[in-house]
Amino acid sequence: MNSGPFDSVAAVGDVSNVSTWSGTPYHLWQAALGQGWQVEPWRLELGPFHWSRRWWNLGAVLRGRRTGGFQYSETFLDAAEAQIPEHLFAGRVLSFNQFFPRAESVKRRGGKMYYYLDATFPRLLDRYGLKDQMDARTAAEALVAERENLALADHIFAFQRWTADSLVQECGVDPAKVSVALPGANLQLHAMPAVDDDRGVPNRERPLVLGFVGKDWERKGLRFQVEVARVIRDLGMPVAVRCAGGCPPDLQQNDLVEYVGFLNKCADLPGFVRFLQGCDLGCLFSTAEASSIAILEFLRAGVPVAGFVVDGMGDLLMPDAALRFRPGQSAKEIGRAILDQFSNAAELKKFRQRSRLVGETVTWQHSIGIFEDRLARDQIVGAPTPR
């Protein structure tokens, strides 16, 4: 018997591979194992779909449609589900994807279907530009499939309130079936190294370091962050943008940017944490952002954060540990606000202390505790699971 709230974790990909979906399913699975629960990862191999995707897209063109959207098709879902051992469908499944597995496939075998989502499909279409990447008819079919899965699901967890609101308002889900569980930082450490709250204000010997972590540097506002840094420098404080991940060639040569390339936290997790803790402020000025694991990682490392309160970021940019800005505020306004925060030693120390306390809560152990409490309250957790 599994005493936990779910028996397996699913995603589009191999959950046991830390590279799948930025490692988020993997880290939740590891946290569940750490609680002593018997939880199995779904291991979906995507390699076999290389040619079937091409043939499917060719068929779409022959039917007068644009390409794109293969992963929402019955062709993909039938083949994907065929890879999965039968007994996993008969248990309690927690999936990070609202299309895979299909809720009907789980319910038909006597299982329970829980989804854990960072964004609904309507929001992906509108906010992430997905509607420009596929035929309108394909998108409409996917919207119908999503609603069917959500209607059959036993419970749905949202990464943040932005998605929870969309589930109810745009997808027609009963509010009683929706809960919010903030994701954890993808940092698998037994203990987080302490960060020094008494570092004092940045000065000529130590510049203010604005951190950036992300692959999609354009959407995540790296150019704007450099403009903010320029304002801070012009106002008299030495500053640097320390960037890990994606960075265009011109910014790599910018005198305000310290580009460290892509960091492999799987190969050198202590080094990645040192990068985070070497920053004074983790920044994310995204134009669209359902949620950001990078912001949670800065917080987990005890580093305060700053960014635009856009989409789901209202929950992740926690007021005690964040400088929150409205989309559309100028680099000049934001630079002045950051400078004010980092010029007062006493207030800065309090800000860092609050950030460290917040960081103790952004763990996957905390997230799965929410799952357990919520499902137990609805008496969903219960009988022994078929094996």
Q: What is the CATH number of the domain that holds 169?
A: 3.40.50.2000
* pLDDT attached to residue 272: 95
On whether both 253 and 122 belong to a single domain, the answer is: no
Answer whether residue 75 is part of any domain: yes
* pLDDT attached to residue 198: 66
pTM score, whole prediction: 0.93
On whether both 165 and 215 belong to a single domain, the answer is: no
User: CA-CA distance, 139 to 64, in Å (whole number)?
Assistant: 15
Query: Looking at the 3D structure of the chain, how many domains does it have?
Result: 2
On whether both 144 and 239 belong to a single domain, the answer is: no
* pLDDT attached to residue 71: 96
* pLDDT attached to residue 385: 47
On whether both 30 and 164 belong to a single domain, the answer is: yes
* pLDDT attached to residue 384: 40
* pLDDT attached to residue 379: 59
* pLDDT attached to residue 194: 74
Domain carrying residue 162? 8-184+364-377
On whether both 369 and 342 belong to a single domain, the answer is: no
* pLDDT attached to residue 378: 66
Of 377, 105, 353, the closest CA to residue 95 belongs to: 105
On whether both 242 and 290 belong to a single domain, the answer is: yes
* pLDDT attached to residue 197: 63
On whether both 178 and 294 belong to a single domain, the answer is: no
Answer whether residue 3 is part of any domain: no
Average pLDDT over the chain, rounded to an integer:
93
On whether both 155 and 131 belong to a single domain, the answer is: yes
On whether both 125 and 237 belong to a single domain, the answer is: no
Q: Is residue 317 within 8 Å of residue 163, measured between CB atoms?
A: no
Answer whether residue 1 is part of any domain: no
Q: How many CB atoms lie within 10 A of CB 198?
A: 9
* pLDDT attached to residue 380: 55
Residue with tokens 């009683």: 176
Answer whether residue 260 is part of any domain: yes
Of 61, 59, 39, 43, the closest CA to residue 51 belongs to: 59
In the three-class reduction of DSSP (H, G, I as helix; E, B as strand; rest coil), residue 43 is classed as: strand
On whether both 287 and 372 belong to a single domain, the answer is: no
Answer whether residue 191 is part of any domain: no
On whether both 17 and 76 belong to a single domain, the answer is: yes
Answer whether residue 226 is part of any domain: yes
On whether both 126 and 19 belong to a single domain, the answer is: yes
* pLDDT attached to residue 387: 42
Q: Is residue 358 within 8 Å of residue 321, measured between CB atoms?
A: yes
User: CA-CA distance, 77 to 70, in Å (whole number)?
Assistant: 9
Answer whether residue 190 is part of any domain: no
Angle of CA points 310, 126, 68, to nearest 5°: 130
* pLDDT attached to residue 358: 95
Low-confidence ranges of the chain (pLDDT < 50): 382-387
Answer whether residue 266 is part of any domain: yes
* pLDDT attached to residue 383: 45
